[in-house]
A and B are shown apart, each in its own frame.
Chain A
Amino acid sequence: MYNDQELFSTLHMLRNENLDVRTVTLGVNLMDCVSHDLEVFKAKIRAKITGLAGNLVDTCNQVGEKYGIQVVNKRISVSPIGVVAAPFSPDQMVEVAKTLDEIAREVNVDFIGGFSALVEKGVANGDKSLILAIPRALAETSRLCGSVNVASTRAGINMDAVLMMAHAIKEAAALTAHADGLACAKLCVFCNIPQDVPFMAGAYLGVGEADAVISVGVSGPGVVKAAIDRAVKADPNMGLGQIAEVIKLTACKVTRVGELIGREVAKTLGLPFGVVDLSLAPTPTVGDSVGEIFESLGLVKMGLPGSTAALAMLNDAVKKGGAFASSHVGGLSGAFIPVSEDLNIAEAVAQGHLNIEKLEAMTAVCSVGLDMVAIPGDTSEETLAGLMADEMAIGMINSKTTATRLIPVPGKKAGDMAEFGGLLGHATIIDVKQAAGENRFVRHAGRIPAPIHSLKN
């Protein structure tokens, strides 16, 4: 029998601190479905995905019930469609997108990711079709997510692709103007995209991965906040080194839970287990917020001076705890700061404590980027491209993943409210500096060369 502390800390994590398995993601390789015939391709991907994912949701629910922990989302990631559907035109790519959306409904998963292209060094025909198809593909589906990797430390930043994405984002927003540009909430632009990330909207199955694999995304910002609160209450003068230790130990426990669930789901489905992605991923729920952790660490509000240092410590401690707990940690593994998906962060923006420049600075030390940031609808393509290029530069130079999920909300301006619904939440539209005149820097296009430290061989 466990002692009282062991029993109650475990029960509290699950009942009061919102510990859950945020996602179990089944990766499906579609390389063997390739065909030049659209109907054949659609039939093959349907057969392969439904064959592998038919029992995914039921299995996750059964394993969740066995351990008394909820698997909140069940998702699928597929090989980059820009590669496996390369022969097709943009219109045909939209057909592929709709087929993937139908498959997601059929097997009852929340999202299917992988409407993706890897174009950091150049745009191939399939990638071009995919990027041109993105606005309609995401506007005319509900469960499909897309991502495009436009930069890497090894290749530099493909500014042609950045500009194409700026255009695609504006168009996707316009096509879903009635829903505040919702299509853009399902689209990430990446630098150094991981091949095994289970979280959306960036999940896809890399070309170096197995034929099918189960990966797990564990969250738990509420658990980390509660652990910090308890520790600081017991010792108000606790040093930051000790607080980091508390975060690390908590992250370790949370990761162990994810590993347990992931391995059991994989074993039940007869599939290999991939990685645990231990990320502090918030939801728009009180007590499930990364922003609240900043306040537990002693900051008046996230975004005020000290926030970047606090986030650096948090992100690093989470990684250390996770790395110790699992033999295969992957994906993003760190802290997410998605504005609309986190009540506290959204509030910090609304109150003016957090602006886009501070957000950008903070992304230099955490695991993602400008995530779920609603910006004015009249933000120009050049400005959008500039925002993305800046974020990509942070990732490229620091050899880390960065991403943007920017939503130019049609017809709305800074200070207005954008509503995306459900887990995507709502947020005050953040001000973006726009000078009059053309941004000729981004229009130069071409490729920003890879940094010197990419030359490792």
Chain B
Amino acid sequence: MEKIIITVLGQDRPGIIAAVAQSLYERDCNIENVSQMVLQSEFVGLFVVTVPGDATLDNIRDALRQDLSAMELDVQAKELVAPKQTPSALQWEPFLITTMGPDAKGLVARITSVLARHGANVTNLKAVFQGGENPDRNIMVYEADVPAQGNREALYAGLREKAREMGLEIIIQHRDIFDAVNKI
């Protein structure tokens, strides 16, 4: 085993990263990559870690759970395996799909089901509530890689139909326009 990925989930508070890093350091692990975010009050961290040859996945995970128990954090770990097939970047085109309108159960499921049906891979998803007193100002932004050779018109039509059913406004744009405006 060379690399493992560890997820840490729990209520956000000062010191979580420090505690995780200390625990891993004490077991001779090296943190290669980290991504973390806070959604509402919950912290979630993803750590890609190289581990020493004599360590096992269970050792590392159990040690972390013990070290972090006082912070009431949930810890999971799995082996990191190389992807079976790395798609060439040229086969995909990045799009941003924005929906605006009333929040509803199943909103994300219905939009992403259309994306999945057309082979598009959601690479990022963001929800922003801009409404103040207005419940209709719910904005979802899906960043998705769309197959370059796929039927773009059918994907657009499917997304627009789904948005119409839910009373949402939808805007579909190639990501380059955001790069053009925001990255100079």
Contact = CB atoms under 8 A, between A and B. Distances in A.
Interface of A: 1-2, 4, 6-11, 13-15, 65-69, 252-253, 256-257, 259-260, 325
Interface stretch (B5-13, B58-66, B108-116, B173-181): B173-181
Contacts of B171: 11, 14-15, 68
Given A1-B126, A4-B128, A7-B141, A68 B182 contact: no
Contacts of A325: 184
Given A1-B126, A65-B156, A252 B176 contact: no
14 contacts: A1-B126, A7-B178, A8-B130, A10-B182, A13-B181, A15-B171, A66-B173, A66-B174, A67-B177, A253-B181, A253-B182, A257-B177, A259-B180, A325-B184
Given A66-B173, A68-B172, 15 more contacts: A6-B181, A6-B182, A7-B128, A9-B182, A10-B178, A10-B182, A13-B181, A66-B152, A66-B174, A68-B174, A68-B177, A69-B173, A69-B177, A256-B180, A257-B181
Contacts of B174: 66-68
Nearest to A256: B180
Best-surrounded residue of A66, A69, A257 (most CB of chain B within 10 A)? A66
A348 B37 CA distance: 53
Interface string B121-140: 00010101010000000000
B117 to A, nearest CB: 20
Interface residues of B, number: 21
Contacts, number: 58
B50 interface: no
Contact of A10 (B130, B143, B152, B181): B181
Best-surrounded residue of A68, A69, A257 (most CB of chain B within 10 A)? A68
Contacts of A257: 177, 180-181
Contacts of A6: 178, 181-182
B98 interface: yes
A253 B180 CA distance: 7
Contacts of B178: 2, 6-7, 10
A6 B176 CA distance: 13
A260 B180 contact: yes
Nearest to B143: A1
B177 to A, nearest CB: 4
Interface in B137-173: 141, 143, 152, 156, 171-173
A252 B177 contact: no
Contacts of B184: 252, 256, 325
A1 B124 CA distance: 7
A142 to B, nearest CB: 32
Contacts of A259: 180
Contacts of A260: 176-177, 180
